[in-house]
Structure 1
Amino acid sequence: MFVKRRGEKFTILIVYVDDIVITSNDTYEIADVKQRLASEFEMKELGKLQYFLGIEVSRYSGLLGYRPADSPIEANHKLCGDVGGIDDRLQYQRLVGRLIYLSHTRPDIEYTVGVVSRYMHDPSQPHLDELYIILRYLKVAPEKEVMFTKNNHLGVESYTDDVDWTGCLDDRRSTSGYCTFFAGNLDTW
């Protein structure tokens, strides 16, 4: 991955085997990078990114007018099954699947995605509403990814907590959480 910053403008170029992804907040810079690469290498433009490293890239504009959410899940949520289905179960399942991929680098949504994925077999309107809360949260918090930094130690630290004792209304199971840091970086959660 190559990053170029010039003031407020940035350009990112990612190379994986024979695939190149270019993104920037400046369309002229993207065109310039593509032109320079094409002058040195044989290239084929494939258009907007659809798949990269096995992850599907989707763009939605339907939620742009929604107000942002401060949290990916409502406090003291009481989601449960047996409340009636929704018309488009397949859409719900696709969206949860995409959020599962995203949660690999976003520990802040992992718990919530786990909650909504419990109901993929028979989702209802409250479950779909919770998915929209996650999307509204992602709208306001796009920068909360996992970052790895170089540290001068190789220590391992682990933390655990019972977050919700018998809180699931469906099976009365408890929810607990853990995180492990390696060399000062969040490694598993």
Structure 2
Amino acid sequence: MPTTLCSSRDLVGRLLYPNSDIVVTGDDLAEISHLKRYLSEEFEIKDLGQLRYFLGIEVARSSRGIYLSQRKYVLNLLSETSILGCKPANTPIEANGHLSSKEGDPVDKGRYQRLVRWLIYLSHTHPDISFAISLVSQYMHDPHLTHMEAVLRILRYLKSSPGRGIFFSPLNHLRVEAFIDADWVGSPNDRRSTTSYCTFISGNLVTWQSKKQALVAHSSAKEEFHTMAHGICELL
């Protein structure tokens, strides 16, 4: 089972990285115990026991499996941005929604970048906002009003279920599966497509991504083949 260790020997390191906990996990309990003894001889280590909270990610266990979420992180973010009192949204982005450059008045660039960075970290346990984040992150250097409204909609969507996360359960197979999709010339700015995929091992979601492609596809068939090749590389 994952355990958490906290080191307090290097003061400079703790100033640069205030949360210096590390996670030790594996299926060999004897080897884990040996590693912890070795680390305690080299550093001042405190064993915090079974993993419950790490870098904003909360870990909950049951007989069915392990659940990862960032509920506290989400609530702190909503409180910081004064979204707690707003009406929640049912989806992170409008259906068939697209963003264009320079729509609306310019907004505070620093605030926009901070919000997007916070949301990017939330995608570690929220694959459902990956596509929306891939859109708003394209305007980090020149954000306008419509881009900020899209960011705020993601926040309102998170308010609807701040405790949503990822569940890992033991199953009786080791199948590796992938689901892949793409839109064709989805960006109104440069006509490039966005590729999205998610991969599963034993029925558990392990990787996911939503990213704009580097080239313009001249046909939907070419776009689908490119997306499929990308997904197969991820599976391999």
Task: Mark yes or no: TM-score above 0.5.
Answer: yes
Q: Would you say 1:107 and 2:107 are equivalent positions?
A: no
Q: Which of 152, 156, 169 is matched with 2:172 structurally?
A: 152
Say whether the 8 Å CA contact 2:78–2:159 is kept in structure 1.
no
Number of residue pairs the alignment of both structures matches: 147
Q: Is the deviation greater in 62-71 or in 120-129? A: 62-71
Say whether the 8 Å CA contact 1:157–1:182 is kept in structure 2.
yes
Q: Would you say 1:17 and 2:6 are equivalent positions?
A: yes
Q: Could you tell me how far 1:115 is from its partner in structure 2? A: 0.4
Q: Please report the RMSD computed on the Cα atoms of aligned residues, expressed in angstroms.
A: 2.8
Say whether the 8 Å CA contact 2:78–2:155 is kept in structure 1.
no
SS of the aligned residue for 1:179 comes to strand
- Corresponding position of 2:162: 142
Stretches of 4+ aligned residues off by more than 6 angstroms: none
Q: Which of 155, 180, 187 is matched with 1:168 structurally?
A: 187
With normalisation by structure 2, the TM-score equals 0.56
- Corresponding position of 1:90: 110
Q: % of aligned pairs identical?
A: 50
Amino acid at match of 1:118: Q
- Corresponding position of 2:100: 80
**Separation in structure 2 between the aligned mates of residue 104 and residue 85 of structure 1, nearest angstrom:** 31
Write out aligned runs for 1:4-83 (5 A).
Answer: 15-17=4-6, 53=55, 58-61=76-79, 62-83=82-103
SS of the aligned residue for 1:17 comes to strand
Q: Could you tell me how far 1:154 is from its partner in structure 2? A: 1.4
Amino acid at match of 1:53: L
Q: Say if 1:59 and 1:79 are closer, same or farther in 2 by CA, change over 3 A.
A: closer
**Separation in structure 1 between the aligned mates of residue 188 and residue 119 of structure 2, nearest angstrom:** 23
